[in-house]
Amino acid sequence: MVVGVLALQGDFEAHAGVLIRLGAEPRIVRTPADLEGLDGLVIPGGESTTMTLGIEREGLAEPLRDLVRAGTPTLGTCAGLIMLDRDHLDVLDVRARRNAFGRQVKSFEADVELDGIDGGPLRAVFIRAPGVDECGDDVEVLGEIDGHPIAVSEGNILAVAFHPELTDDGRVHEWLVERIRERTASAEGQAA
């Protein structure tokens, strides 16, 4: 199981560490060639404007869109949620808002319950976290804080406004790994 971690900016190494603990092989993604043969994708947090410029500079926009639209299980965290939205890669039918909970000094941690993630609340780290202002009909809101969506899914995409890689709780990444397993089993069943 090879999971690409977009490594233009952000704490991609922490995501790679979580994936290794879950038995997946992370691959650093910086160019379109790095996307070849991936089973899953993580778009980490960072600064969305810098990430957008890096994606454009490296010619990654269309290859990323193609990969996600083909059904590749994808996890976007913090700025990764923004990158997936209508105004950026346009593969997740949401409109995100930068710094929805305030600037850096307003960063916080909270225990959050997410539908589809078993085992009780997760400790979530919000750093200049985005929010979701609009959701399309096929988008499922999995968790909220004060009525604001902080976790959404659509098809094989999970996007969260927080940084799951900054805690010891691997359940958000487990969601991704489980989707990859399901997709692989389905493909093998169809080939048989």
Active-site residue (options: 15, 88, 165, 173): 165
Token readout for 22 is 């879950």
Residue 33 has pLDDT above 70, yes or no: yes
Question: What's residue 100's pLDDT?
Answer: 63
Residue 171: pLDDT band (50, 70, 90) is: very high
Please provide residue 137's backbone torsions phi and psi, each rounded to the nearest 5 degrees.
Answer: -60, -30
In terms of C-beta density within 10 A (0-12 exposed, 13-18 middle, 19 or more buried), how is residue 123 classed? middle
More confident residue, 187 or 70: 70
Active-site residue (options: 78, 88, 154, 173): 78
More confident residue, 10 or 136: 136
| CA nearest to 130, candidates 145, 116, 119 | 145
Are the C-beta atoms of 11 and 50 separated by less than 8 Å? no
- 15 in active site: no
Residue 66 has pLDDT above 80, yes or no: yes
CA 156 to CA 114: how far, in whole Å?
Answer: 16
In terms of C-beta density within 10 A (0-12 exposed, 13-18 middle, 19 or more buried), how is residue 17 classed? middle
- 163 in active site: yes
- 165 in active site: yes
Q: How many CA atoms lie within 13 A of 32 on its CB side?
A: 10
Q: Work out the mean pLDDT of the chain and round it to a whole number.
A: 92
Question: What's residue 163's pLDDT?
Answer: 94
- Maximal C-alpha separation, the chain: 55
Active-site residue (options: 15, 88, 154, 163): 163
Residues 6+ apart with CB under 8 A from 19: 3, 5, 25, 26, 42, 173, 177
CA 102 to CA 97: how far, in whole Å?
Answer: 11
